[in-house]
Amino acid sequence: MSNQPIAIAAGGMVIGVLLAVAISGSRVDTKISGALERAEGTTSSAVTDATEAMSAQLAELEARLSDGAAAASEEAEARLAALEESFGAQLAALSETAAAQAGAFEAALADLAAAAVAPVAAPEAETQMPSLNAIGVGQTAVFAEGAVRAFVSSFDAEANSAKLSVNGEMVTLDAGASTSVSLESGDCVVSVVGVSDAGVEVGSDCGMSEMAAADVPPAPEEGYTPGSVALLSDGALRVFVSSLSQDGKSARIAVNGIDTQVVNSGASIEVAAGDQTCNVTVTGVGNGMVGLEGACN
């Protein structure tokens, strides 16, 4: 029996097996490729979804940050505007206050300047009577070597009046008014020369007759009596004669104002009249009058 058919059959079987294996391997590869494609598609889809989700979250975060920055910027601008408005209001109020104070200061300076050059209303005086310095409540002015005593009970500077007890008799006198007093040597008067916050200036001619009999200086030429106003140096100086001392050695005067001062006979005082420097000299005091001279440069 020949082996050729067996060999052919065996060869055919081997070839069949090989073909089956090849065909089977090809199908396996196809399945694997399909599975890989499906897995790759799923993975790609998942990555895409994750990327899109992350992008959405980032966009939302950026939007929130942008909104927050805008809100913070608006709040900062609002606060800055409020601060500028408050500062402007405070600065305006400060400017108004400074302007008001400057106006008040200028008005006060103007009042002082007007008072310095304003004419002084001098009280009329019928008699030439020396006076003491201003005295307060509870003090006494003594005249005629103690024969006449004027006690200050009270005074009102605004009303320009005073209440005096003259030798025990209570009287109320306005500035420039007098009350009569009887003495053995004759009648005389006590007068309220002036009233100020400093007190009452009391004058009297009581005892003047005895003084006239004594050796007193003669009346100066072109003399001025108490209560009169002397215009000197072409009107630059207005000198109000307030009173004369009993011994005839000094006079109380006010120059270009209401503040009085005592100037001895023969002495001078320096005053300002506008942009000028002036001197007022008491040339003499006698017989109830005072001599005055003035010069400015």
How far the first Cα of the chain sits from its last, in Å, is 177
Instruction: Indicate if 62 and 81 belong to the same structural domain.
Output: yes
Maximum average pLDDT range among 15-19, 37-41, 44-48, 127-131: 44-48
Look up the pTM and report it: 0.33
Q: What percent of the chain has pLDDT over 90?
A: 36
Indicate if the pLDDT at residue 173 is higher than 60.
yes
Residues 107 and 32 in one domain: yes
* Highest-confidence segment of 68-77, 165-174, 181-190: 165-174
Q: Residue 95 corresponds to which tokens in the numbers above?
A: 């400017």
> Which of 168, 146, 167, 165 lies closest to 155 in space, CA to CA?
165
Cβ atoms within 10 A of the Cβ of 169, count? 9
Q: What is the pLDDT of residue 21?
A: 54
Query: What's the pLDDT score for residue 118?
Result: 44
The whole domain housing 203 covers 124-214
Whether 2 and 113 map to the same domain: the answer is yes
In the predicted model, is pLDDT for residue 27 greater than 70? Answer: no
- Which residues lie across from 286 on neighbouring strands? 289
Q: In the β-sheet with 178-183, what is the strand arrangement from edge to edge?
A: 178-183, 186-196, 199-204
pLDDT at site 64: 78
Which of residues 117, 138, 162 is at a domain's end?
A: 117
208 shares its domain with 223: no
Range in 27-36, 41-50, 178-187, 233-242 with the lowest mean pLDDT: 27-36
Residue from 249, 145, 148, 258 nearest 198 by CA: 258
Domain end (from 214, 246, 271): 214
Does residue 255 share a domain with residue 294? yes
Distance of alpha carbon 294 from alpha carbon 282, whole angstroms: 9
**Domain total of the chain:** 3
Residue pLDDT, tens place only, 86-124: 767 776 776 676 666 656 656 655 555 454 444 444 343
